[in-house]
Structure 1
Amino acid sequence: MFDEYVSGAVGRAKVQPIRLATPLLEDMVKHIESKAPGSMLIAGTAGDGKTYHCRALWLRLGGDPKAWTAKGNVKELRLADGRLAVFIKDLSEFNGQESDLPLQRLERSVLGGDDSEVLIIAANHGQILDRLRDLGKRQGLRHPLRTPLQECFLQAGPAPDRLAVFDLSRTTTRKTLEEVARAVAGHPEWDNCSRCSLNADGKVCPIDENRRRLLGDADGGQLASRIGDLVEIARLNGLHLPVRDLLALCANMVLGYSDAKEAKENLMTCADVAKIQEADHVSKANIYANAFGANLPKRRASDRPVFKAMASFGVGEETTNGADGLLVYGKDDSRLQADFQRLVASDPIYGGTASYLAAQNDYLEGHEGARLEAAAGFTEMLEDQRRRLYFTLPKDELGYSRWAMTVFRYAGDYLGIIDTLTEKKTQVSEAVRARIAKGLNRVLTGLLLENSDRIFIASSGGFTQSRVSVLCDHETAARRQQGVGMAIKLNTMTGRPFLEVQLAPGAANRVIFDLTPIRHEFLSRVAEGSLPASFSNECLEDLMAFKAKLLRKAETVRKDGIADDDEVSGEDSAMTLNFIDIEPGGRGSTRPVTVRAPA
């Protein structure tokens, strides 16, 4: 329905549509041309571009564009090899048992070995699993395609035999966002703006200004790159943002406006620009605030996963003393004036605007009544300035950290881990590895340890979930040495790093911990002194589950070692316990204590 609506809207507006890459189209074409037996499923979530890919495949195989847009959800095309290609544009358009017919044709092709047809079905993950479940119930069995498809979607397992699965939900990355930004901001229709009177005689058209900033005219693409960083962190935390949401994000960045009285639904049209210019309110179209949906009503912003995800980074609300000192006092403080001029005042449209400088002056210099009145407005402006700083701070700016102005203060290091592991040219930064090891030690023991060279796998005398554990069951190196110890590796399927703790040689003696951005943030914050329970109970529970796996593995390794060495006789009733002591300076060490049963 969405694909058809867009096709119709493009025709009515008489403009060229936004064209995006179809990342899996070539593989789909190759699959059809290879005459591989069976059928094809184009899967994903709402907004991933399933129907868009389906239509592109139809056209590549020689289908008539008018036949595609004609009424009907099922389209048939005779292929050059004699097979009949049956396109199901969207399985969700079938109500209830209406979907039985296409699914039964799929059964004949995939399970029955019928090679006269090749079905090409576009379907949401949940939709096709639900329809297969219901069909199986009516058939009195568990449908044979449901379990393998579920494993394929959720665990990246193999596709069922004779069914090629193209999952679009796995194709959205920061590169997708950058492509969408170029397609939106670089569309050829924008050339008309160069002849517009709203862009002449020194006037600033906020729509064209935002478009050029998104395109990277002034900063070499830094804005889009940093939006890409946030999208990537959200993805690695398990949040999928479909192409439709990325289009909405870019459209809002260009057209967003924070005053609904001057722009309907907080989105500008060309007709609004003249009024905005006359009122000198161009700064209300701040692209850096629009990126977080700050121009939208809270309910509307929360309805879109992309704006909910962007808001979750806390940009604008999180800050540092250095950033706020610059933004509040930089104009008057001789030590900060040069930075203020370079980082704030140099942008007269969204940075050191007349309205911001006036509000700043009232906040700092006005009489008591004026200061109280100005405080609320200035605080709101300050949030927008923090958002702008996140995007505009130079990459290696000393004294100001853009990630420190988000809830993910160590996200830059996390992305650095991925870059390092992807390039395979250097090792993960020693400082980053040491911080992870230190945080891990503090969680596993509940003690304020400073060790970053050893990992203490500790308990309180049993397999309890005790937060404080002073008995060391096993000790291993925090850096992989001779096949034993901790290593940081990359999962090529998810794109995320993971910790691999090897307690003894052999694949059976390792324990793996998936290092998501929020788990990395948790370990880093704990290493720097935060209390575990004050940050994220979910992360703490994940680490406790990891600790339980380590303890079980340590017990297995210990038993295997005793069996191999045969050091303990049946008559020896002594037990050695290794207590963790904290030395001056916070370093932990183990102190063996031998316990014997009374005679």
Structure 2
Amino acid sequence: MQLSIFASVVTEQTLDPSATAESWIKFVRQYGPIPRNDSAFEEHINKASRRAGVMPIRFQHPLLTDVLSCFNLTEEVRSVVLTGHAGDGKTNLCHRVWQGLGGDPALSDSSAPYIRHQLPNGLMLHVIRDLSAWVPSQGSEWEPEKVDLLTRFSESIHSQNPTEYFLIAGNDGQLIETWKRLPENLAIQKTRLLFEDLLVEDRQQSDGVQLSFFNLSRSSSAVLFDSCITAFLSHPGWQLCFNEGNDTRIEYNEYSPIYINYKRLQDSLLQSRLRKLFELCDYNDIHIPIREILALLANAILGHPKVTDRLMLPTDVRTIIHDRLVPQASIYDNIFGINLTDSRRDSIGVFSALSRFRIGEETSNRIDNLLIYGNTDETLTPYFTKYLANDPIYGASEAYLREQSIYIEGVDDDDRSKGFLPMLASQRRALFFKIAEEEVLELKLWHLTVFSYAGEYLEKVIKPLKTKKVPVERDIVGRLVRGINRVFVGMLVNSDRELFLGSSLHASGARVCRVFEDNISVRPKNGQSVKVDWYNNRPILNVSLSNNHLESLTLNLVRYEFLSRVAEGALPSSFSKECYEDVMSFKSKLLKRLTLRRQEDGSVEEEQHVFQRMVLDDNGNPIPREINFTMPD
């Protein structure tokens, strides 16, 4: 079988003649943050799509071609394990592989967690597309045929000439737990240890093992977002709602919040800003599964705090318009799940992840002056007109202008703030998606988030390293070094040309470490250097003490923000403890490296000990001063 025959599985999104605008909206609602049995989500969506007469929202998973290639009979065939978080698309990916290999559609459409298919070479492919639904529940006895099947899998992947192949999908925790519960034998034990190693080391293969291991939770959330939003917005179901024949229906015309949000979600600037948040989640080691991205998109269009389940139906629209509640359907709030209850919002990973940016809570004096006084301050009026007055729906609505006036002119602080402050937070969220690219620096866009250096992190660290393969700017490296120096030494060190290693007579992890151990040149010199490199799809800070001694610190978003703020004189309490401990742990590794280097070059003193105490000069540069003493006999 040639790979080209099945490598591109076409995902068509079609409509049944019975489909209506109402049935489509009800179907989209099923993707939203409503209570349901998430363990059977794929089956639930398939049933809902058949009732609505529409195809589910589908797209080709970024890993589909790689998974299919494992079953290419012109190459070496390998068994496959798909793991990851709930909602990563494992079950659907199994369906696409089955479809690509010519499996019986009736079996694929069934709810059976285990199906099998004979490959053209006569060998059998066993597919367990939902491991958690197939294995016995905790405390129950194993059925002999299931033990036999998983034992055969464990033996086959360690065989050079397997006689059958497997495709197994299961959450990472379930995967390890299943192999722990199986009756112990050598093949089962080797396979369990193999899974643990592949997960911990983030590898797809192991030498001598006929297995490809795909951890879907390592997929880029930003790349998944690109696929999700394209498939979501381009689905023909929207044509049932928004076409010339429906223009006069209030549920779908230009006054409908469903229509307004659908159009705004198509805005390239909004999509770009939202994608950057997903990208920042990736570089902050937070993965957003496909299911949760689709939940966000459905909520973005249908969210409203005053309707059942906080998601609009067409029947809600007339009342919302009549009661002047359209502003509460703001897509800019819905993206962050503000329409949901606190408990529901916190229980959904994507909204919990986005809440960490604190968009709506963070601000600057200029932004708040714009939002509060912008329509009367001539220096701010152009911005107020552009971003609020020109948007009477989700910007300067009647309700906003009324509460703004009360806030400015009111006497009782509590009363005047009660109605306006939530609106102020809503407008900050809206501004994050509205501020034009050419005004990002002027209005300090990223000050609307807790990560004020996030824009720089993407544009001047991630982008040049990942796409251009060019060094990070010297000033940025210098700032990071200055931040690290201040943490390492515990004083307001200003030096950014050398990295100073300090310790204390009590412990190297003390807050203030005045005992000078060594300094490392930032610019390459005698094997020493400090630079930001790209490794394993992440930026890392590499510190070389010599040609043979190097230690690295992964620069995720939180650490980058922490070091940058410390370098500028602030210690952000919101995330300082964890970051401080990470940086101090890095310091301990460097001190161990320093000891090894000294042992190799013979510079370790035995009888006479020389200590150097660091003091800062007027410019904040550490100056070592020697203190000599000899240990008693």
Query: Normalising to structure 2: TM-score of the pair?
Result: 0.87
In structure 1, C-alpha distance between the alignment counterparts of 2:540 and 2:340, rounded to whole Å: 37
Asked whether the equivalents of residues 38 and 163 of structure 1 are also in contact (C-alpha less than 8 Å), the reply is yes
In structure 2, C-alpha distance between the alignment counterparts of 1:107 and 1:410, rounded to whole Å: 48
1:163 partnered with 2:211: yes
Q: Which of 399, 402, 405 pairs up with 2:442?
A: 399
Asked whether the equivalents of residues 38 and 109 of structure 1 are also in contact (C-alpha less than 8 Å), the reply is no
Q: Which residue is 1:207 aligned to?
A: 258
> Which amino acid in structure 2 is aligned with residue 470 of structure 1?
R
> Which amino acid in structure 2 is aligned with residue 499 of structure 1?
L
Asked whether the equivalents of residues 403 and 420 of structure 2 are also in contact (C-alpha less than 8 Å), the reply is yes
Q: Which of 180, 189, 194 pairs up with 1:148?
A: 194
Asked whether the equivalents of residues 491 and 512 of structure 2 are also in contact (C-alpha less than 8 Å), the reply is yes
Q: Which of 202, 208, 226 pairs up with 1:178?
A: 226
Q: CA deviation at 1:63?
A: 1.4
Q: Which of 616, 619, 622 pairs up with 1:582?
A: 616
Q: Which of 436, 442, 453 pairs up with 1:410?
A: 453
> Which amino acid in structure 1 is aligned with residue 321 of structure 2?
Q
1:542 partnered with 2:585: no
Deviations, residues 432-489 of structure 1 (Å, cap 9, x unaligned): 2121111000000001011111110111136532110112211012244464121111
Q: Which residue is 2:430 aligned to?
A: 388
Deviates more, 1:537-546 or 1:114-123: 114-123
Q: How does 1:271-310 map to 2 (within 5 A)?
A: 271-310=315-354
Q: Which residue is 2:487 aligned to?
A: 443
Q: Which residue is 2:541 aligned to?
A: 499
Asked whether the equivalents of residues 78 and 210 of structure 2 are also in contact (C-alpha less than 8 Å), the reply is yes
Q: CA deviation at 1:199?
A: 5.7
Q: Which of 118, 132, 135 pairs up with 1:78?
A: 118
Asked whether the equivalents of residues 178 and 225 of structure 1 are also in contact (C-alpha less than 8 Å), the reply is no
In structure 2, C-alpha distance between the alignment counterparts of 1:455 and 1:84, rounded to whole Å: 60
Q: Which residue is 2:133 aligned to?
A: 93
Asked whether the equivalents of residues 497 and 515 of structure 1 are also in contact (C-alpha less than 8 Å), the reply is yes
Q: Which residue is 2:51 aligned to?
A: 12
1:131 partnered with 2:178: yes
**1:6–1:534: structure 2 CA closer, same or farther, 3 Å change rule?**
closer
Deviations, residues 367-416 of structure 1 (Å, cap 9, x unaligned): x35x6433111000000000011111122314321211111111122223
In structure 2, C-alpha distance between the alignment counterparts of 1:211 and 1:452, rounded to whole Å: 49
Q: Which residue is 1:341 aligned to?
A: 385
SS of the residue corresponding to residue 390 of structure 1 reads helix
SS of the residue corresponding to residue 190 of structure 2 reads coil
SS of the residue corresponding to residue 512 of structure 1 reads strand
| Identity level (%) | 34
Q: CA deviation at 1:214?
A: 1.3
Q: Which residue is 2:475 aligned to?
A: 431
Q: Which of 264, 269, 273 pairs up with 1:226?
A: 273
1:248 partnered with 2:287: no
SS of the residue corresponding to residue 20 of structure 1 reads coil
Q: How does 1:18-29 map to 2 (within 5 A)?
A: 18-29=57-68
> Which amino acid in structure 1 is aligned with residue 423 of structure 2?
M
**1:290–1:45: structure 2 CA closer, same or farther, 3 Å change rule?**
same
In structure 2, C-alpha distance between the alignment counterparts of 1:480 and 1:3, rounded to whole Å: 54
Unmatched tracts of structure 2, length 5 or more: 1-39
Q: Which residue is 1:373 aligned to?
A: 415
In structure 2, C-alpha distance between the alignment counterparts of 1:68 and 1:301, rounded to whole Å: 34
Q: Which residue is 1:519 aligned to?
A: 559
SS of the residue corresponding to residue 624 of structure 2 reads strand
Q: Which of 364, 375, 378 pairs up with 1:320?
A: 364
Asked whether the equivalents of residues 408 and 521 of structure 1 are also in contact (C-alpha less than 8 Å), the reply is yes
In structure 2, C-alpha distance between the alignment counterparts of 1:353 and 1:62, rounded to whole Å: 56
SS of the residue corresponding to residue 612 of structure 2 reads strand
Root mean square deviation, CA, Å: 2.3
In structure 2, C-alpha distance between the alignment counterparts of 1:517 and 1:38, rounded to whole Å: 37
Number of aligned residue pairs: give it. Answer: 579
Q: CA deviation at 1:252?
A: 0.7
In structure 2, C-alpha distance between the alignment counterparts of 1:111 and 1:559, rounded to whole Å: 44
In structure 1, C-alpha distance between the alignment counterparts of 2:432 and 2:216, rounded to whole Å: 31
